[in-house]
Amino acid sequence: MASYGWIYISKIINKTNSKVTFYNPHGDISGDISAGEEESNNCKGYIPYYSHARKYEITYYNELYKEQKKIEIKDLGGDWLASFYTGGISEDIRDFPPAGGCTSEKLTLTIGPNGYEIYSITRKCRKGGELFG
């Protein structure tokens, strides 16, 4: 696990009207999530460090921009910071300190028609996201 941090994707929920695809480098698994469905088996895995050859990737159709968007997720070095990069010049960096007694932070990602939201399963709260429109 030397190439991975302690932030863990547990579930991806697709709230769009089209398919969402993901690539999970922790298990080297790709998959599709149909519109209105969720995935909590093959998507499970730790987020790789920024230096890892592949990033955790989620691709969806953004209805506002009328184009495919890719979210690249990486751990910024084992310090409980994760980057959610969607292209362009901005990068959404979030901190995910573990709750007391926990050694990892588990997340659910909800992909909507105009962006994404991040929920902490461990802390039972919304931790951020990027919504357009």
Query: In sequence order, what DSSP letters do the residues of 98-121 get, joined into one string?
Result: PPTT-SSEEEEEEEETTEEEEEET
pLDDT for 72 equals 96
pLDDT for 17 equals 96
Q: Give the model confidence (pLDDT) of 92-131 as tens digits.
A: 899 888 777 677 889 999 999 999 999 988 778 788 787 7
pLDDT for 88 equals 77
Q: Which residue stretches of 1-133 are H helix?
A: none
pLDDT for 128 equals 76
- The rounded mean pLDDT for the chain is 90
Give the other-Cβ count within 10 Å of 65's Cβ: 11
pLDDT band for 73, please (50, 70, 90 cuts): very high
Are 29 and 64 within 8 A, CB to CB? no
